[in-house]
Structure 1
Amino acid sequence: MTEVVRAYGLDGLPLGALLVVLLVVVLARSHATYWAGRAVARGARYEGERRHGPALWQRTVDRLARFATTPLARTGLRMVHRWGPVAVTFAYLTVGVQSAVFAAAGLLRMPYLRFTVASLPGSLAWALVWGTVGMSAVWGALALAAGSPWGLAVLVAVAVVVTGVAVHARRRRRAAPAPATTATSAR
Protein backbone atom coordinates (compact mmCIF):
# COMPACT_ATOMS: atom_id res chain seq x y z
CA MET A 1 0.00 0.00 0.00
CA THR A 2 2.92 2.35 0.56
CA GLU A 3 3.63 2.25 -3.20
CA VAL A 4 0.13 3.58 -3.83
CA VAL A 5 0.54 6.41 -1.33
CA ARG A 6 3.97 7.23 -2.77
CA ALA A 7 2.51 7.23 -6.30
CA TYR A 8 0.19 10.07 -5.33
CA GLY A 9 3.06 12.06 -3.84
CA LEU A 10 1.60 11.54 -0.38
CA ASP A 11 4.36 9.37 1.06
CA GLY A 12 4.05 9.08 4.78
CA LEU A 13 0.33 9.85 4.96
CA PRO A 14 -1.99 7.20 6.34
CA LEU A 15 -4.44 5.48 4.01
CA GLY A 16 -7.31 7.53 5.45
CA ALA A 17 -5.64 10.78 4.38
CA LEU A 18 -5.07 9.36 0.90
CA LEU A 19 -8.75 8.45 0.65
CA VAL A 20 -9.77 11.96 1.73
CA VAL A 21 -7.52 13.47 -0.97
CA LEU A 22 -9.00 11.16 -3.60
CA LEU A 23 -12.51 11.98 -2.39
CA VAL A 24 -11.88 15.72 -2.75
CA VAL A 25 -10.41 15.23 -6.23
CA VAL A 26 -13.32 13.14 -7.50
CA LEU A 27 -15.91 15.46 -5.98
CA ALA A 28 -14.23 18.49 -7.54
CA ARG A 29 -14.20 16.82 -10.96
CA SER A 30 -17.79 15.60 -10.87
CA HIS A 31 -19.19 18.84 -9.49
CA ALA A 32 -17.25 20.93 -12.02
CA THR A 33 -18.71 18.76 -14.78
CA TYR A 34 -22.19 19.18 -13.29
CA TRP A 35 -21.82 22.98 -13.14
CA ALA A 36 -20.47 23.11 -16.69
CA GLY A 37 -23.61 21.21 -17.73
CA ARG A 38 -25.75 23.75 -15.88
CA ALA A 39 -23.89 26.55 -17.65
CA VAL A 40 -24.56 24.96 -21.05
CA ALA A 41 -28.23 24.54 -20.15
CA ARG A 42 -28.35 28.21 -19.16
CA GLY A 43 -26.52 29.28 -22.33
CA ALA A 44 -23.66 30.88 -20.40
CA ARG A 45 -21.20 33.07 -22.27
CA TYR A 46 -17.95 34.56 -21.07
CA GLU A 47 -18.26 38.34 -21.06
CA GLY A 48 -14.83 39.24 -19.70
CA GLU A 49 -11.83 40.82 -21.37
CA ARG A 50 -11.83 39.79 -25.04
CA ARG A 51 -8.23 40.58 -25.99
CA HIS A 52 -6.94 37.69 -23.91
CA GLY A 53 -9.25 35.16 -25.54
CA PRO A 54 -11.88 33.03 -23.87
CA ALA A 55 -11.39 31.98 -20.32
CA LEU A 56 -10.75 28.38 -19.37
CA TRP A 57 -14.31 28.18 -18.07
CA GLN A 58 -15.75 29.30 -21.41
CA ARG A 59 -13.65 26.77 -23.30
CA THR A 60 -14.92 24.09 -20.93
CA VAL A 61 -18.54 25.17 -21.44
CA ASP A 62 -18.06 25.30 -25.23
CA ARG A 63 -16.49 21.84 -25.26
CA LEU A 64 -19.34 20.47 -23.15
CA ALA A 65 -21.90 22.09 -25.48
CA ARG A 66 -20.31 20.21 -28.39
CA PHE A 67 -20.16 17.03 -26.30
CA ALA A 68 -23.87 17.32 -25.48
CA THR A 69 -24.72 16.33 -29.06
CA THR A 70 -22.72 13.07 -29.05
CA PRO A 71 -24.11 9.55 -28.64
CA LEU A 72 -22.29 9.19 -25.32
CA ALA A 73 -23.98 12.31 -24.00
CA ARG A 74 -27.36 10.98 -25.13
CA THR A 75 -26.60 7.81 -23.19
CA GLY A 76 -25.89 9.88 -20.08
CA LEU A 77 -29.11 11.83 -20.59
CA ARG A 78 -31.12 8.62 -20.94
CA MET A 79 -29.57 7.24 -17.76
CA VAL A 80 -30.35 10.36 -15.74
CA HIS A 81 -33.87 10.55 -17.20
CA ARG A 82 -34.55 6.95 -16.28
CA TRP A 83 -32.75 6.56 -12.95
CA GLY A 84 -32.32 10.14 -11.69
CA PRO A 85 -29.94 10.51 -8.74
CA VAL A 86 -29.28 6.75 -8.67
CA ALA A 87 -27.56 7.12 -12.05
CA VAL A 88 -25.24 9.71 -10.51
CA THR A 89 -24.34 7.41 -7.61
CA PHE A 90 -23.56 4.40 -9.79
CA ALA A 91 -21.80 6.45 -12.50
CA TYR A 92 -18.75 6.62 -10.22
CA LEU A 93 -18.37 2.87 -10.58
CA THR A 94 -18.53 2.88 -14.37
CA VAL A 95 -15.96 3.51 -17.04
CA GLY A 96 -16.82 5.65 -20.02
CA VAL A 97 -20.07 7.28 -18.95
CA GLN A 98 -19.11 9.07 -15.74
CA SER A 99 -18.68 12.50 -17.29
CA ALA A 100 -21.72 11.99 -19.49
CA VAL A 101 -23.93 11.30 -16.47
CA PHE A 102 -22.53 14.23 -14.45
CA ALA A 103 -22.92 16.61 -17.39
CA ALA A 104 -26.42 15.24 -18.09
CA ALA A 105 -27.42 15.95 -14.49
CA GLY A 106 -26.36 19.54 -15.03
CA LEU A 107 -27.94 19.80 -18.47
CA LEU A 108 -31.22 18.52 -17.04
CA ARG A 109 -30.87 20.95 -14.14
CA MET A 110 -31.04 18.31 -11.43
CA PRO A 111 -31.27 20.24 -8.15
CA TYR A 112 -27.77 20.71 -6.77
CA LEU A 113 -28.58 19.32 -3.32
CA ARG A 114 -29.98 16.15 -4.93
CA PHE A 115 -26.87 15.83 -7.11
CA THR A 116 -24.59 16.34 -4.10
CA VAL A 117 -26.42 13.79 -1.95
CA ALA A 118 -26.31 11.28 -4.83
CA SER A 119 -22.63 11.92 -5.50
CA LEU A 120 -21.38 11.36 -1.95
CA PRO A 121 -21.78 7.54 -1.75
CA GLY A 122 -20.53 7.11 -5.32
CA SER A 123 -17.48 9.26 -4.78
CA LEU A 124 -16.71 7.49 -1.50
CA ALA A 125 -16.85 4.15 -3.32
CA TRP A 126 -14.67 5.50 -6.15
CA ALA A 127 -12.05 6.80 -3.71
CA LEU A 128 -12.02 3.52 -1.80
CA VAL A 129 -11.69 1.40 -4.95
CA TRP A 130 -8.99 3.53 -6.55
CA GLY A 131 -7.14 4.20 -3.30
CA THR A 132 -6.80 0.51 -2.55
CA VAL A 133 -7.40 -2.04 -5.28
CA GLY A 134 -7.25 0.17 -8.37
CA MET A 135 -3.90 1.85 -7.84
CA SER A 136 -2.39 -1.31 -6.41
CA ALA A 137 -3.32 -3.14 -9.63
CA VAL A 138 -1.92 -0.33 -11.80
CA TRP A 139 1.36 -0.17 -9.93
CA GLY A 140 1.58 -3.97 -9.75
CA ALA A 141 1.17 -4.18 -13.53
CA LEU A 142 3.81 -1.50 -14.05
CA ALA A 143 6.22 -3.21 -11.65
CA LEU A 144 5.68 -6.52 -13.43
CA ALA A 145 6.26 -4.89 -16.81
CA ALA A 146 9.36 -3.08 -15.57
CA GLY A 147 10.82 -6.33 -14.24
CA SER A 148 10.62 -7.99 -17.62
CA PRO A 149 11.38 -6.43 -21.01
CA TRP A 150 8.79 -8.76 -22.55
CA GLY A 151 6.21 -7.67 -20.01
CA LEU A 152 6.92 -4.04 -20.83
CA ALA A 153 6.62 -4.80 -24.56
CA VAL A 154 3.26 -6.49 -24.01
CA LEU A 155 2.03 -3.59 -21.87
CA VAL A 156 3.04 -1.06 -24.55
CA ALA A 157 1.47 -3.21 -27.30
CA VAL A 158 -1.79 -3.42 -25.38
CA ALA A 159 -1.79 0.35 -24.82
CA VAL A 160 -1.16 0.96 -28.54
CA VAL A 161 -3.97 -1.41 -29.59
CA VAL A 162 -6.45 0.07 -27.11
CA THR A 163 -5.57 3.60 -28.22
CA GLY A 164 -5.86 2.64 -31.88
CA VAL A 165 -9.27 1.04 -31.38
CA ALA A 166 -10.51 4.08 -29.46
CA VAL A 167 -9.26 6.52 -32.11
CA HIS A 168 -10.76 4.41 -34.91
CA ALA A 169 -14.13 4.20 -33.15
CA ARG A 170 -14.13 7.94 -32.54
CA ARG A 171 -13.36 8.68 -36.18
CA ARG A 172 -16.13 6.34 -37.31
CA ARG A 173 -18.64 8.05 -35.02
CA ARG A 174 -17.65 11.46 -36.35
CA ALA A 175 -17.76 10.33 -39.97
CA ALA A 176 -21.08 8.49 -39.67
CA PRO A 177 -23.93 10.46 -41.19
CA ALA A 178 -26.63 11.58 -38.85
CA PRO A 179 -29.74 9.43 -39.10
CA ALA A 180 -32.34 11.05 -41.27
CA THR A 181 -35.48 11.94 -39.44
CA THR A 182 -38.68 12.29 -41.33
CA ALA A 183 -41.67 13.85 -39.80
CA THR A 184 -45.02 13.07 -41.23
CA SER A 185 -47.90 15.11 -40.12
CA ALA A 186 -51.39 13.76 -39.97
CA ARG A 187 -53.83 16.40 -41.03
Structure 2
Amino acid sequence: MTDFFTTGPFVPVYLALLLVVFCRAQATYWLGYYVATKLKTNVPDDGWRRRFYDWSEQDSVKNGVATLHRRGWIVIPLSFLTVGFQSIIQFAAGLITFPPPRYTAAMLPGCFAWALIYSTIGFSVWGAIIAAFAGSPYGIILIAVLVLVLVLLARWRRKAKERLVHD
Protein backbone atom coordinates (compact mmCIF):
# COMPACT_ATOMS: atom_id res chain seq x y z
CA MET A 1 0.00 0.00 0.00
CA THR A 2 2.77 2.48 0.84
CA ASP A 3 4.38 1.77 -2.55
CA PHE A 4 1.21 3.09 -4.17
CA PHE A 5 1.51 6.40 -2.32
CA THR A 6 5.23 6.82 -2.97
CA THR A 7 5.52 5.58 -6.56
CA GLY A 8 1.97 5.52 -7.95
CA PRO A 9 0.63 7.80 -10.68
CA PHE A 10 -0.04 11.33 -9.46
CA VAL A 11 -3.79 11.65 -10.12
CA PRO A 12 -4.87 8.38 -8.42
CA VAL A 13 -2.52 9.07 -5.48
CA TYR A 14 -3.84 12.63 -5.15
CA LEU A 15 -7.47 11.49 -5.29
CA ALA A 16 -6.88 8.70 -2.78
CA LEU A 17 -5.19 11.10 -0.35
CA LEU A 18 -7.94 13.66 -0.90
CA LEU A 19 -10.54 11.03 0.01
CA VAL A 20 -8.56 9.99 3.10
CA VAL A 21 -8.11 13.52 4.42
CA PHE A 22 -11.70 14.49 3.63
CA CYS A 23 -13.11 11.48 5.52
CA ARG A 24 -10.70 11.94 8.43
CA ALA A 25 -11.49 15.65 8.80
CA GLN A 26 -15.23 15.06 8.56
CA ALA A 27 -15.09 12.23 11.11
CA THR A 28 -13.09 14.38 13.53
CA TYR A 29 -15.49 17.31 13.08
CA TRP A 30 -18.55 15.10 13.63
CA LEU A 31 -17.02 13.59 16.78
CA GLY A 32 -16.64 17.11 18.14
CA TYR A 33 -20.17 17.96 17.06
CA TYR A 34 -21.46 14.82 18.79
CA VAL A 35 -19.65 15.73 22.01
CA ALA A 36 -21.06 19.27 21.91
CA THR A 37 -24.64 18.29 21.16
CA LYS A 38 -25.00 15.03 23.09
CA LEU A 39 -22.30 14.61 25.73
CA LYS A 40 -21.91 18.11 27.17
CA THR A 41 -25.37 17.90 28.73
CA ASN A 42 -25.22 14.19 29.58
CA VAL A 43 -21.64 13.37 30.56
CA PRO A 44 -21.02 9.61 30.33
CA ASP A 45 -19.39 7.77 33.21
CA ASP A 46 -17.05 5.60 31.14
CA GLY A 47 -16.37 4.03 27.75
CA TRP A 48 -15.47 5.56 24.41
CA ARG A 49 -17.95 8.42 24.83
CA ARG A 50 -16.27 9.42 28.09
CA ARG A 51 -12.84 9.37 26.40
CA PHE A 52 -14.07 11.80 23.71
CA TYR A 53 -15.68 13.98 26.34
CA ASP A 54 -12.42 14.00 28.34
CA TRP A 55 -10.48 14.89 25.19
CA SER A 56 -12.83 17.84 24.65
CA GLU A 57 -11.84 19.16 28.08
CA GLN A 58 -8.06 19.11 27.46
CA ASP A 59 -6.15 22.37 27.29
CA SER A 60 -5.03 21.73 23.71
CA VAL A 61 -8.64 21.43 22.54
CA LYS A 62 -9.69 24.47 24.57
CA ASN A 63 -6.85 26.38 22.90
CA GLY A 64 -8.14 25.19 19.52
CA VAL A 65 -11.62 26.46 20.36
CA ALA A 66 -10.16 29.78 21.51
CA THR A 67 -8.13 30.05 18.29
CA LEU A 68 -11.26 29.47 16.20
CA HIS A 69 -13.14 32.12 18.17
CA ARG A 70 -10.24 34.56 17.89
CA ARG A 71 -9.21 34.02 14.24
CA GLY A 72 -12.37 32.68 12.64
CA TRP A 73 -13.03 30.13 9.91
CA ILE A 74 -9.69 30.74 8.14
CA VAL A 75 -7.98 28.60 10.79
CA ILE A 76 -9.79 25.52 9.48
CA PRO A 77 -8.10 25.29 6.06
CA LEU A 78 -4.78 26.59 7.43
CA SER A 79 -4.72 23.81 10.03
CA PHE A 80 -4.20 21.27 7.24
CA LEU A 81 -0.72 22.75 6.75
CA THR A 82 0.26 21.77 10.30
CA VAL A 83 1.02 18.53 12.08
CA GLY A 84 -0.92 17.85 15.27
CA PHE A 85 -2.95 21.05 15.27
CA GLN A 86 -5.12 19.85 12.39
CA SER A 87 -7.11 17.29 14.40
CA ILE A 88 -7.58 19.69 17.28
CA ILE A 89 -9.04 22.37 15.02
CA GLN A 90 -11.36 19.94 13.22
CA PHE A 91 -12.61 18.60 16.59
CA ALA A 92 -12.90 22.16 17.96
CA ALA A 93 -14.98 23.21 14.93
CA GLY A 94 -17.41 20.45 15.85
CA LEU A 95 -17.36 21.46 19.51
CA ILE A 96 -18.44 25.01 18.70
CA THR A 97 -21.10 23.51 16.39
CA PHE A 98 -19.74 25.35 13.37
CA PRO A 99 -22.52 24.93 10.79
CA PRO A 100 -21.82 21.73 8.78
CA PRO A 101 -22.15 23.25 5.27
CA ARG A 102 -19.86 26.16 6.21
CA TYR A 103 -17.40 23.77 7.85
CA THR A 104 -17.23 21.62 4.72
CA ALA A 105 -16.70 24.70 2.54
CA ALA A 106 -13.95 25.92 4.90
CA MET A 107 -12.15 22.58 5.08
CA LEU A 108 -12.11 21.78 1.35
CA PRO A 109 -9.22 24.13 0.43
CA GLY A 110 -7.22 22.62 3.29
CA CYS A 111 -7.97 19.10 2.05
CA PHE A 112 -6.89 20.01 -1.49
CA ALA A 113 -3.64 21.53 -0.18
CA TRP A 114 -2.91 18.59 2.16
CA ALA A 115 -3.46 16.02 -0.60
CA LEU A 116 -1.26 18.04 -2.97
CA ILE A 117 1.57 18.29 -0.45
CA TYR A 118 1.51 14.61 0.45
CA SER A 119 1.06 13.41 -3.13
CA THR A 120 4.08 15.40 -4.30
CA ILE A 121 6.75 15.99 -1.66
CA GLY A 122 5.20 14.78 1.59
CA PHE A 123 5.89 11.05 1.53
CA SER A 124 9.09 11.52 -0.45
CA VAL A 125 10.51 13.85 2.19
CA TRP A 126 9.58 11.49 5.04
CA GLY A 127 11.07 8.56 3.14
CA ALA A 128 14.29 10.48 2.47
CA ILE A 129 14.65 11.47 6.12
CA ILE A 130 14.13 7.91 7.34
CA ALA A 131 16.49 6.50 4.69
CA ALA A 132 19.17 9.05 5.55
CA PHE A 133 19.01 8.30 9.27
CA ALA A 134 18.52 4.55 8.95
CA GLY A 135 21.46 4.27 6.55
CA SER A 136 24.01 4.89 9.28
CA PRO A 137 24.44 3.43 12.77
CA TYR A 138 24.39 6.95 14.21
CA GLY A 139 21.09 7.61 12.47
CA ILE A 140 19.53 4.48 13.93
CA ILE A 141 20.74 5.48 17.40
CA LEU A 142 19.37 9.01 16.89
CA ILE A 143 15.95 7.67 15.86
CA ALA A 144 15.88 5.31 18.87
CA VAL A 145 16.85 8.14 21.24
CA LEU A 146 14.19 10.44 19.76
CA VAL A 147 11.50 7.79 20.15
CA LEU A 148 12.61 7.13 23.73
CA VAL A 149 12.58 10.85 24.56
CA LEU A 150 9.08 11.24 23.10
CA VAL A 151 7.77 8.25 25.06
CA LEU A 152 9.32 9.52 28.31
CA LEU A 153 8.03 13.03 27.70
CA ALA A 154 4.50 11.72 27.12
CA ARG A 155 4.64 9.65 30.33
CA TRP A 156 6.03 12.62 32.29
CA ARG A 157 3.24 14.89 31.01
CA ARG A 158 0.55 12.34 31.86
CA LYS A 159 1.91 11.90 35.40
CA ALA A 160 2.21 15.67 35.86
CA LYS A 161 -1.45 16.10 34.85
CA GLU A 162 -2.47 13.31 37.23
CA ARG A 163 -0.60 15.06 40.06
CA LEU A 164 -2.38 18.33 39.27
CA VAL A 165 -5.76 16.61 39.33
CA HIS A 166 -5.05 14.98 42.69
CA ASP A 167 -3.61 18.11 44.34
**Gap runs ≥5 in structure 2:** 40-45
**Gap runs ≥5 in structure 1:** 1-5, 45-53, 180-187
Residue 122 of structure 1: aligned partner: 110
C-alpha distance in 1 between matches for 2:73 and 2:53? 22
C-alpha distance in 1 between matches for 2:26 and 2:157? 28
Bigger Rg over Cα: 1
Following TM superposition, by how much is the alpha carbon of 1:112 offset from its aligned partner in structure 2, in angstroms? 0.7
- Give me the TM-score of the superposition, normalised by structure 2: 0.83
1:23 aligns with 2:11: no
SS at match of 2:81: coil
Residue 88 of structure 1: aligned partner: 76
- Cα RMSD of the aligned pairs, angstroms, is 2.5
1:73 aligns with 2:73: no
Residue 164 of structure 2: aligned partner: 176
Matched residue type, 1:21: A
SS at match of 1:176: helix
Residue 154 of structure 2: aligned partner: 166
- Give me the TM-score of the superposition, normalised by structure 1: 0.75
The share of aligned pairs that are identical, in percent, is 32
C-alpha distance in 2 between matches for 1:170 and 1:126? 31
Following TM superposition, by how much is the alpha carbon of 1:10 offset from its aligned partner in structure 2, in angstroms? 4.9
C-alpha distance in 1 between matches for 2:106 and 2:151? 32
Residue 143 of structure 1: aligned partner: 131
Q: Which has the higher helix share?
A: 2
Residue 155 of structure 1: aligned partner: 143
Matched residue type, 2:115: A
Aligned residue-pair number: 161
Out of 27-36 and 13-22, give the one that drifted further: 13-22
Following TM superposition, by how much is the alpha carbon of 1:83 offset from its aligned partner in structure 2, in angstroms? 2.2
